[in-house]
Amino acid sequence: MKRFEGYGVLITAAGSGIGAATAHRLAGEGARVLVTDIDEAAAGKVAASIREQGGTAREFACDVGDRAAVEAAVAYAVETFGRLDVLVNNACACHPDAPLFEDEDDEVWATDLDITLTGAYRCARAALPHLVASGRGAIVNIGSVNGIQDFGNHAYSAAKAGLASLTRTLAGHAGPRGVRVNLIAPGTVRTAAWAGRDEQLDEMRKLYPLGRVGEPADIAAAVAFLASSDAEWVTGAVLPVDGGTTAVSSGFKIMRD
């Protein structure tokens, strides 16, 4: 019996990277996955790839900054799969810092917080009644080590720290209703955001106790654990999946600067 046989799953920003790897992982374990992304074509490619491998997946265009779009995605998942058991909040926005903090732009701050934190809030709010109804509901938020330690990116880091706080408060609210809420805090993961920067990634590898940067599949494996019944007594947790970087001192600030 596959762990997610019969499950309905919705994943945001699943058109590439961590979201796409998670969609493949959960579908490979029997889930019916709604691959959502602001880029519908990218979502469609991931869903098609899952179907080619014998899995069940559909795509849906969703901007987590738009409440109506989020509610439409959740409704489509429930209508298509007959239920919703797992929500994976993966969407985020991350803009580079200004050289001086006092030069930071209000719009950049607002965008990073809106997509990264408020977007997850919108998705959880829309999904929660259906997760309660499933009797085995789980929310897995994709946070970041930036929400734990200083790795730069003021707005993004504040949003990820806020997402960890929301994870705890929502876990307390939703636990008695049968829904678990947890967060994964990845370190550096080799995604499209690092395209063309292989030399920098190779240097960063040296800063990780386990000797490499992460791969999307590393995070997908952690999502699969937290979303499954294997973690049925785990809620409100922040799980670093970071090659050990938050456990030890590192030279990240030096490299970043």
Q: Which residues does the annotation mark as catalytic?
A: 156
Q: Could you give the CA distance from residue 24 to residue 37 in angstroms, rounded to a whole number?
A: 15
> Any idea of the CA torsion for 14, 19, 21, 23, to the nearest 10 degrees?
-60
Q: Could you give the CA distance from residue 43 to residue 59 in angstroms, rounded to a whole number?
A: 5
**Hey, how many other C-beta atoms are within 10 angstroms of the C-beta on 116?**
27
Antiparallel, parallel or unpaired: β 8-11 and 86-89: parallel
Buried b vs exposed e over 134-166: b needs ≥16 C-beta within 10 Å?
Answer: bebbbbbbbbbbbbbbebebbbbbbbbbbbbeb
Q: Which amino acid is at 218?
A: D
What does the DSSP assignment read for 165-226?
HHHHHHHHHHGGGT-EEEEEEE--B-SGGGTT-HHHHHHHHTTSTTSS-B-HHHHHHHHHHH
Provide the total of helices (H) and of strands (E) in the chain, helices listed first: 9, 7
Q: Could you give the CA distance from residue 31 to residue 10 in angstroms, rounded to a whole number?
A: 10
Nearby residues of 15 by Cβ (< 8 Å), 6 or more positions away: 35, 37, 38, 39, 41, 42, 43, 45, 46
